[in-house]
Amino acid sequence: MAGEYLIGIDIGTSGCKSILIDGEGKVIGYSLQEYPLLSPRPGWTEQDPADWWKAVQVSVWRLLRKTGISSNAVKCLGLSGQMHGLVALDKDCQVLRPAILWNDQRSMVQCQRIHEIVGGIPRLLELTNNQMLPGYTGGKILWMREQEPKLYKRTRLFLNPKDYIRYVLTGEFATEVSDASGTGLFDVRQRRWCDQLLTLLNIPIERLPRCFESPEITGRITKRASEVTGLPVGLPVVGGGGDAVIQTTGMGLVKPGILGITIGTAGIVAMGLDRFHPNADGRLQIFCNNSPGTWHVMGVTLAAGGSYRWFRDALCEVEKEKARQMGQEVYQIMEEIASAAPAGSRGLIFLPYLIGERCPYSDPAARGGFIGLSLQHGRPEITRAILEGVVFSLRDVFELINTMESSVKEIRTSGGGSLSSLWRQIQADVFQCPVITVSGSREGGAYGAALVAGIGVGIWKSVNEAVKVLKIETETIPDPRNKEVYEKLYGVYHGLYKTLKPSFDAIAQSQRQEISFHTTKEKTDELC
């Protein structure tokens, strides 16, 4: 619609992205503001919600200034955000502690206890259709109650990351069905908080926000928020969605047959479902989708783009310096290096379990590594092996989804990893399926949030109508010459987790003991 604009805001793990689209789904502009990731202990990841809010203010101001669009022409705002995080607010709505993030592994014991309290995983699947994974919000709430009881007693409300931003924008406490699904406390079939589970866990429902469908209006921009963001007072804010779900909406994954692969910090393999499916063994995640009466199946790997970023930060100083000198992105330099290695990286395999794993193995003790390293391997093979190992981990997830919906005809890829032509080719070759990118896919959850905002104010009647604005931008055809090498290498990769599981457990135990020793020593030193 001419003269009508929508804003999508995504509270990601590495930064806040704000985008502006028009009534035909065209991206007019975007702005990204980064913030730090904290890891006070191995396996712990946290962020300061104040950093998110500052980033929202900066990115939205910059977006409006850069595009030159009057804020009064913006009709609605949608929110996307990293899922499963825990933000605890006190009675004065002040943040009590740093937010505990989706990839934090500290609540493994609490999650196991939840399974026991309920009566086992099969019973929990009957209640919520999902296991209580270590990254989920429910386990974090119990961890806080046990490990930080004074803070827990002061807690008035628990929110997910994007819903904290909703609160500071609108003054309203609310969430929506896709993000609520990822707390582990939600009845996905009935699309409501699971009263029975909350009672068993002694979590008062009053400490959880009201839940909406994604396109519903949940609040409006306050005068205070308007002053620091430039957004107009009274601008509607819709429910939006958890990033893992709503970014697939922005890719057009609203019905079976199209597989979505997102390579961001995490890796996501997903598909839209037009009916509810029981989560048979609990290894996948089945959440409510962003349209009423629809669902979403996915599996998440914890360190997809995160593995590549780790490699960049830890071992690519030369590449970073070269990129600075040439005025290029460091990832472009890294891709050129990886392209010098053949498909299969001469038999070198990378395991991307740098912070444990979620799917298909829910195992905080899993550890990363290179298998098959020899004197013939250099920087090209090591770099390419990381890209291939991430895609192998995504194929592990696909094999599970394929037992549920086996009519996959195309793959749509998004996230930072979709910007790499080499990574897209590796996906096409490993899956032996065409891989496409669509308009808006590089904007991730922010684009899906903007589309859902448009539905909320009637620009589109439904999600199915909204995704018709998507256009194919690239198509990558599988190279049949690489099929055999990847089939063989994937077969080896697939067997490595089971083989190395005892070693992973021993290493994780050793690391925990070392952490315990240093923590005890620090406390002793303080007393002295």
Secondary element (H or E) of residue 177? helix 177-181
Question: Please, which residues bridge with residue 242 across strands?
Answer: 81
Q: Catalytic positions, please?
A: 243
Length of the chain: 528
Phi, psi for 186 (deg, rounded to 5): -120, 135
Contacts of 384 (CB under 8 A, 6+ apart): 338, 339, 341, 345, 422
DSSP 441: G
Question: Which of 84, 77, 95 has the alpha carbon at shortest distance from 45?
Answer: 84
Residue 476, classed as helix, strand or coil, is strand
Q: Where are the extended beta strands (E) located within 125-242? A: 157-159, 174-176, 186-187, 192-193, 210-212, 217-220, 236-238, 241-242
The Cα–Cα gap between 381 and 341 comes to: 5
User: What does DSSP say about strands 74-81 and 5-11: parallel, antiparallel, or unpaired?
Assistant: parallel
Residue 82, classed as helix, strand or coil, is coil
Return the number of other C-beta atoms located less than 10 Å from residue 398's C-beta: 21
Contacts of 321 (CB under 8 A, 6+ apart): none
Q: Are 14 and 69 in contact (CB under 8 A)?
A: no
Q: Is the dihedral of CA 477, 479, 483, 489 positive or negative?
A: negative
